[in-house]
Structure 1
Amino acid sequence: MMTDNIIWLDFNDAPEQRDELVSDTDVLRVGVLDRLEAVLHYLFPQGRIRGGKFYVGDVDGNAGKSLVVELDGPRRGLWKDFSTDEGGDVIDLWARSQGRSARHDFPRLAAEIRQWLGIVSHSHSHSQSVVRQPARTNAVDELGPYTAKWDYLTPDGQLIACVYRYDPPSGKEYRPWDVRARMWRAPDPRPLYNLPAVSKAKQVILVEGEKCADALIAAGIVATTAMNGAKAPIDKTDWLPLAGKSVVIWPDRDAPGWDYAENAARACVAAGCASVVILVPPTTKPEKWDAADAVAEGFDCATMIAQGERRVVKAAAPSLPTFTLGALLDDDSPLPPDLISPRVLTPGGMLVFGGAPKVGKSDFLLSWLAHMAAGATFLDMRPPRPLRVFYLQAEVQYHYLRERVKDVRLPSHRLLEARDNFVATSQLHMVLDDAGLAQIIPAIANAFRGLPPDIIAIDPIRNLFDGGDAGGENDNGAMLFFLSQRVERIRQEVNPDAGVVLAHHTKKLGKKQFEEDPFQALAGAGSLRGYYSSGMVLYRPDESRSTRQLIFELRNGPGIPLKHVDKIHGEWREVDSSERLVMQEYGQRLDAERRRKCDVILQILFDEAANGRCYTANQFAEAFEGKAGLGGERTIRDRLSALATQGYIKYFRNASDYGLPPARTKFGYLCVEGMVLRSVIGEPDPNTGELPTREVAVLPTHFKCLQSGAALPVENPEVWVYQDDINDSQEPA
């Protein structure tokens, strides 16, 4: 409204800014989810798609499998990093990949996503709505609504052009839109498709048309195409983004497709590609069969790209990675974390575990691997987290394998992780030749619901050995063939970063010879020692004693001192190498006395509860000081602490449920397995004088953590898992 040259502005119809922001966020989220696979390959070129999920190492884009993005169903776009236990939606993932916060940096983040998607912001569209001309001309409008659209972007994600597909009655047609010129035409020069991912890839698959490129991209393969496919004018296309890359051209199975491949191959060579090959489509496929058809029918595209018939247009020059002293000195990037520290097994490393027959290799290996699967320390060897372990064993039948597994002593609070993280085979009757690998590789790849294994263990080498035509396991040439062509093939097919553990026997050597170089006792030692990154040998120096030596050899870290180990009460432990062996009889008497005192404590707690009395640790130590041969108050407290650490004593904090006063301690009242609390519930019987009582089973609510010493809630109060029988190092004499 305007009167007397005064302009009155009515803001009542102005859009509510918060609603506009929410709407804009929804538009961005829908746009990103619609092109989720392309977005993920743009953000994380080293990621892979497997089984409806996208895998990458972390939010920084490192190679690996810890971060998983859902691609299917209602959870599409949700992600979780299992190494850090972080997660969120795809907008948050985009922000984290750029080192930003989706909450605090949203305006900048939204602008970046809009630019990548080719979406004009609301404020920009409002301000130019008066002067903007219709995007389409009459000629294009006559084709009807477009049925498909592909965006061409610069390597940094800026929109260059869009290609629209129309399907009028006269047949399919394509129309390019030059974003910068804002005209219905192809840009000059014409860009390649999917440049953000192409710019970061070493190998690129060149196909015929955007539909084929999108099909391969969705399968986790970096693909591109020239605008207009087989009809693309080669001389008007910018091929320079492919310079220095290995290009594999996948033509449609027809004459125009092969002509396109030949012309594109010459252009790629002229652009300076490192190598150029043209795949030959299988002759069994129908006319016009292409990459999109291959993906739709579940064809093994990766194998065809890697091993399929091809015509080499330009071979790759052999490249040898070299590093100057300056580059090595200036590289301060962190070392990859150990799979098993300290440097016992590193990512992509190989550990050979040897020992003579009947020394206990398989029993030791089973216990060690189960602890790694549980994320628990074993003889000072520590995993960074619960590891996924595939145990390929060829000695023990199923029933005896499960018997051994039930004897492994794992911390109760770690058992849940180990149940799924440890996968084993029963006794195998095969060798690792081509036929054996065809069975083994899929079994390992599918063992952990699509996640890759961290450790692949083979026990023993002898039963699965295939040295080709070179000979047996004692032959260095045959051993090298087995390691490079069999074991490495398993690792490369399943997870190149997995650690490999090989159980192997040692030859008979004299004691002096063994002490001088124990690893020379490994059969095929020449090839093994030149190939592995670490070694362990289990050796019994005295056949009359059960104590064994555990000897280490590390290629990538400082030496680990020899350990003396023994299996005591079902658990492998490190023992004193001198005093306990020399004074074995005296030590046995001490063990018996310690065991007696611990049994006395457990029995007292049980009997006292039957008489209606429960104790905290301090109350028990004060009440029974100098009684039953238990020693002083401090000694009793130390024994109670050791028994709690071992799982023989737990705690209950719900004192009121049993009619007890609150315990003035962070742990609570002491509790043992099967304990029953008897309490008086009324007046004496007038006839007999007997007091009426009630018996209630006492169940623990907390236990003492073996690692931290903290009081943690029990998972199942009905189940008692003893972590330690009698640990000499924790108990007082």
Structure 2
Amino acid sequence: MLARSIQQLVIELLPAGQRDGHEWRCGSLGGEKGQSLAVHLHGARAGVWADFSSGEKGDALDLVACCLYGGNRRDAMRWAENWLGLNTADSMAPIQRRPILEKVKTSELDKEAQQRRAKARRLWQETPAGIAGTPVESYLAGRGIDLRQLGRAPGALRFAPAVWCAEVQKPLPAMLAAICGPNGKMVAVHRTWLQQSPSGIWIKADLQNPKKVLGSFAGGCIRLWRGASGKALDLAPTGDVAIVAEGIETALSCAIACPEFRVLAAVSLSNMASMKLPDTIKEITIAADNDCGNPAARKALAAAIHQFTEQGRTVRLAVPEIEHGDWNDVLRNEPDTGHNGP
């Protein structure tokens, strides 16, 4: 009976597998993707299986036993009777299956995360350092951010002439920003796709999502400006003051206005509370956007303030007066900002 229902059984036992001709293929009895284990789906050999990597093999009942009960055929028989509807009085469940599936799922997610991180690092390494004379410098200047006022461009930014954009299914020019973890190693790349306007000015590309991150960046940030100390974030001296903003343009605007302070971009407001900062940074100014009418934004901002305060830091909140504006809007509306920023 199990053999006659083998097409349904393999989906139950080996959900990550896939049909390959007259067989169901997966990586092992754990059920992950792969080709090592094959189960016959039709004919006289329906239910017969073999794991070519481990040498294990058997029939449909053996498959239940090995997948769920460590090879115990007695427990497998009870489960099979329930699954086939032959014994409704016994509600025995496959208690060992859930941990296996969760382990497989976690393993696959970890593998995907590692692949995205590797792809992000490869993109960064293949892109020349420096943005002087590139469309990135032009784009930022169009946003009122003149990096010449800082004396140098942040090393966290690069220009890539062709970065694949899934939204339009073709490569586009992009500003890249390195997102680093607490140890200073890059964990993801932030991409801002750019386009040239008819007047020749570089602007954000006309896309539904012109900004995206490649890789997982929880707890990381974009290190845009080192402030007066000039030291890397993980080497920040005691008493260092940091300005934390959400986006790149807002953070650079703060660096222009207050170059003596360290400036970091959290990438997203929801990530701000997760940022890992050294204990030597005792004072933080959050350069928030003026979107207090957004309940989700208010909640995320409150979470960041609470988290930084719980860490024993002094936290100040700077919100521009411009309704639905940010500190880049302030910079562009105030030609001579001096040190009147956040």
**Greater relative contact order (Cα 8 A, min sep 6): structure 1 or 2?**
2
The question of a shared fold, defined as TM-score above 0.5 by the shorter chain, is answered with no
Structure whose residues are more often strand by fraction: 2
Larger Rg: 1
TM-score scaled by length of structure 1: 0.21
